[in-house]
Structure 1
Amino acid sequence: MLLLATIGFFVNFWAWSLIGPLGPTYQEDLALTPIQLSVAVAVPVIVGSLGRIPIGALTDRLGARVMFPLVSILTIIPTLFVGLVADSFVMILIGGFFLGLGGTAFAVGVPFVNAWFAPARRGTALGIFGMGNAGTAVAAFTTVSLAERFGRAGPFVLVAVLLAAYAVVARILLRDAPGRRAPAGSLLTRTVATLKIPVTRQLALIYAMGFGGFVAFSVYLPTYLTTDYDLTRADASFRTAGFVVLAVAARPLGGWLSDRWHPVPVLTVCFTVAGLAAVLAALKLELLPVGTVAFLTLAATLGAASGACFALVAKVAPADKVGSVTGIVGAAGGLGGFFPPLVMGAVYSSTGAYTIGFALLALSAFAVAAFTWGPVRRASAPGA
């Protein structure tokens, strides 16, 4: 079941991440401004984020055996629209809006995996599930080369076929954990009740920094590298894929460390080191080796923090609200990835450099580290 869920997360995230690697291509072909480009690559992120709230609540009610195939099938439509139809800025925005549905698969998988594992193993299991983020890396690795070889529609058609195949397999093989009970109450009532839980809001802020930072870099790094370091599109996509792979590999490590010790110290260390790496990136030193070290450190720490965050969800979220909590926390993570590309585009348009953007990232990371060690540590203590 863990393998099936991870594959579903992987394929849907691959679809969700298809626009970002083609950002420089869209900018050149459609004469987009930096702000327009930032909006184009960020729109799927915000929709995939906000959509996790109802999808997580629906998963609590209907189960992943229904929701995984449903989300996968519906994501095929915008995938083909962007690949085969969209030929203007407005059409890319429309397609990207609905393509964001692929990002909601995360809110299906977390409560599903959580229910199959004992509490002592949930951090590791959710970290392994989180490796489905590798769909973003595959998009970064392959989208440009596939588009150059088979035309811009090539990667979109391929992913649409994979989504259809997964939907069929999931419907046949996927099984919800024994004893799963649908919660009472309407979707709106349960969502409001979940928002009132203090730990939900705390976890949302943590994930906005951890996963949001990862998403922001995965969608905007190709543009940053081509703009600031004059790399080719293929080279920028390849380096972005390396960033994503490291972040994905670090995610189960963060979950495992959280099972071994506790998520709070793991998160605090990750955000502190991430802040230091952002300071290094703000200096805009040579890409090799210092710049590369800074970005890879950000990848490892943000990935591990994402795994540790959901290890904390498994410890503190009420059992009947894991899907709802996941939806809200996951939405916050995606929203955390929506705003940085816009900020980076605005900063570059105003100053001709990204220094202020990286400085703001460093300040945010340090602030969240302090918040985690303070209020979050007290709230997650036994008996709190």
Structure 2
Amino acid sequence: METPKVGKATKINLFSLKTIHMKTFHLTWLAFFFCFFGWFGIAPLMAIVREELMLSKAQIGNIIISSVAITVFARLGIGWLCDKIGPRITYSVLLIVGAIPVIFIGLADSYESFMLFRLAIGVIGASFVITQYHTSVMFAPNVVGTANATTAGWGNLGGGVTQMVMPLIFGGFVALGYTETISWRYAMVVPGIVLVILGIAYYYVTTDTPEGNIADLKKKDPNYAMKAKEKEGAFMDALKDRRVWALFFIYAACFGVELTINNIAAIYYKDFFSLDLKTAGLIAGLFGLMNLFARSLGGFFGDKFGIKYGLKGRVMFLFAVLFVEGLALMLFSQMTILPVAIATMIVFSLFVQMSEGATYSVVPFINKKAIGSVSGIVGAGGNAGAVMAGFLMKSENISYPEALLIIGGCVTLVSFLSFVVRFSAVEEKTAATEMAEELSASEEAVLSPA
């Protein structure tokens, strides 16, 4: 009997590792989680680094900018690379190469050398694009928003967990008798080693598509190679699409804000509420912990609105959550009482991450021939937003609360760019047809092991 063709999964079975879809799902969010861990592992320890290297507010601002600036370019390139050679090899190489600066940032002994290592570490932030690409090719339209949002959200969770865990790892080395100067350096080796292990695992456990790896498919099917060739010109089409650039700025207004908060939250609570390093880190970590479910909610409701109202429904939902995010950020910036500030931050975090999930419930439908390129361009927007916010944060004349108030106003205005993201009747019909075809396929065929 002929083995049924393996297609995109129409369901997300969280507790199963039987299919290539779910193996990829779990490994891609785990890889992204530890990329985030390595990317922002130094953030909760910056108070220690600041004292050792005698950094000014402006210098810390430059370091924040450097941590996200290079990721703009890395995300643009990594999306094209996914379309070209596939996500499996791309992710494996990124994880292993990205671990190098994470491990060796401990060699920094000056502001300049520290900033260079921080710049290099930012490359692993491009892992997000691969995560979104891989789930986009593994899951059907009825659940792709949820799959994208959940893998990205659980990956982003690393940004919150690292705020809590890295001070504990640092404290562990101090308890072993090492000085604070040595302990923060040794602490950064831990996430670096994990990244190398995951890079090896990603190569051997995942495949590029549900049907197999791109290299193998090209050998078996000449038509596949021809289709892959046709996709190469799609990158320029993505660059010319105004919807892509609208989503670029929209993602700048949500993920860019999250990156900014990840970088400053611990210092913000330490300085403005006079807290110790561990307490400030624990509170700052609450912001990132919302990724456990908040981003998934954004993708889930994006899918639901898409099923009921079509592609325009996904965009309607995106506008709503981004608009509320801007208002919530402005409110948080004015809080001076610690418990109220924490509560407001959690509400603000909910809408930040729902906006991110809602954005990537729209992205897979912009250009089917260049999913990687579109994901890369939009993803780069998040880092571009963090860079722009970083310039506000480094100013000696603008306090952190004032900067956050300004950013909140900008987010509210950017939400109206959602109305630029429009789909033609043909695109609406194509998306509906694809969804119907995937859902009509038998569950056995869709979920059979590759």
TM-score (norm 2): 0.79
Find the counterpart in structure 2 of residue 343 from structure 1: 392
Is 1:294 matched up with 2:317?
A: no
Is 1:184 matched up with 2:229?
A: yes
The residue type paired with residue 423 of structure 2 is S
1:269-284 to structure 2, matched below 5 A, reads 269-284=320-335
RMSD: 1.9
Find the counterpart in structure 2 of residue 194 from structure 1: 238
Find the counterpart in structure 2 of residue 44 from structure 1: 67
The residue type paired with residue 329 of structure 1 is V
In the TM superposition, residue 9 of structure 1 has moved relative to its aligned partner by: 1.1
Q: 2: distance between equivalents of 1:145 and 1:284?
A: 28
Q: 1: distance between equivalents of 2:122 and 2:47?
A: 20
The residue type paired with residue 338 of structure 2 is L
CA contact (8 A) 1:255 1:307 kept: yes
Find the counterpart in structure 2 of residue 319 from structure 1: 368
Question: What are structure 1's unaligned runs of at least 5 residues?
Answer: none
Q: 2: distance between equivalents of 1:139 and 1:160?
A: 13
Q: 2: distance between equivalents of 1:106 and 1:286?
A: 35
Q: 1:109 to 1:279 in 2, by over 3 A?
A: closer
Tell me, what secondary structure is at the counterpart of 1:327? helix
CA contact (8 A) 1:23 1:41 kept: no
CA contact (8 A) 1:42 1:219 kept: no
1:128-178 Cα deviation digits (max 9, x unpaired): 111211121221111122123221123321112111111111111111112
Identity within the alignment, %: 24
Tell me, what secondary structure is at the counterpart of 2:361? helix
Find the counterpart in structure 1 of residue 186 from structure 2: 154
Q: 1: distance between equivalents of 2:317 and 2:344?
A: 19
Q: 2: distance between equivalents of 1:79 and 1:186?
A: 34
Q: 2: distance between equivalents of 1:186 and 1:259?
A: 26
Moved more, 280-289 or 122-131: 280-289
Match of 1:123 among 126, 130, 145: 145
Find the counterpart in structure 1 of residue 285 from structure 2: 241
CA contact (8 A) 1:248 1:303 kept: no
CA contact (8 A) 1:57 1:190 kept: no
Question: What are structure 2's unaligned runs of at least 5 residues?
Answer: 1-23, 174-182, 215-223, 306-312, 428-450
Find the counterpart in structure 1 of residue 416 from structure 2: 370
The residue type paired with residue 277 of structure 1 is A
Q: 1:345 to 1:208 in 2, by over 3 A?
A: same
Q: 1:364 to 1:247 in 2, by over 3 A?
A: farther
CA contact (8 A) 2:74 2:126 kept: yes
TM-score (norm 1): 0.92
In the TM superposition, residue 90 of structure 1 has moved relative to its aligned partner by: 0.8
Is 1:208 matched up with 2:257?
A: no
1:317-351 Cα deviation digits (max 9, x unpaired): 222201011111111111212222331231xx215
Is 1:307 matched up with 2:357?
A: yes
CA contact (8 A) 1:214 1:247 kept: no
Q: 2: distance between equivalents of 1:51 and 1:356?
A: 31
Q: 1: distance between equivalents of 2:151 and 2:361?
A: 12
Q: 2: distance between equivalents of 1:222 and 1:380?
A: 41
The residue type paired with residue 191 of structure 2 is V
The residue type paired with residue 283 of structure 1 is Q
The count of residues paired between Structure 1 and Structure 2 equals 374
Find the counterpart in structure 1 of residue 161 from structure 2: 138
1:8-27 to structure 2, matched below 5 A, reads 8-27=31-50
In the TM superposition, residue 313 of structure 1 has moved relative to its aligned partner by: 0.4
In the TM superposition, residue 190 of structure 1 has moved relative to its aligned partner by: 5.1
CA contact (8 A) 1:123 1:256 kept: yes
List 4+ stretches of structure 1 deviating above 3 A: 179-183, 189-193, 380-384
Find the counterpart in structure 1 of residue 196 from structure 2: 164
Moved more, 27-36 or 337-346: 337-346
The residue type paired with residue 95 of structure 1 is F
1:176-201 Cα deviation digits (max 9, x unpaired): 112755633797x6544321112111
Find the counterpart in structure 1 of residue 377 from structure 2: 328
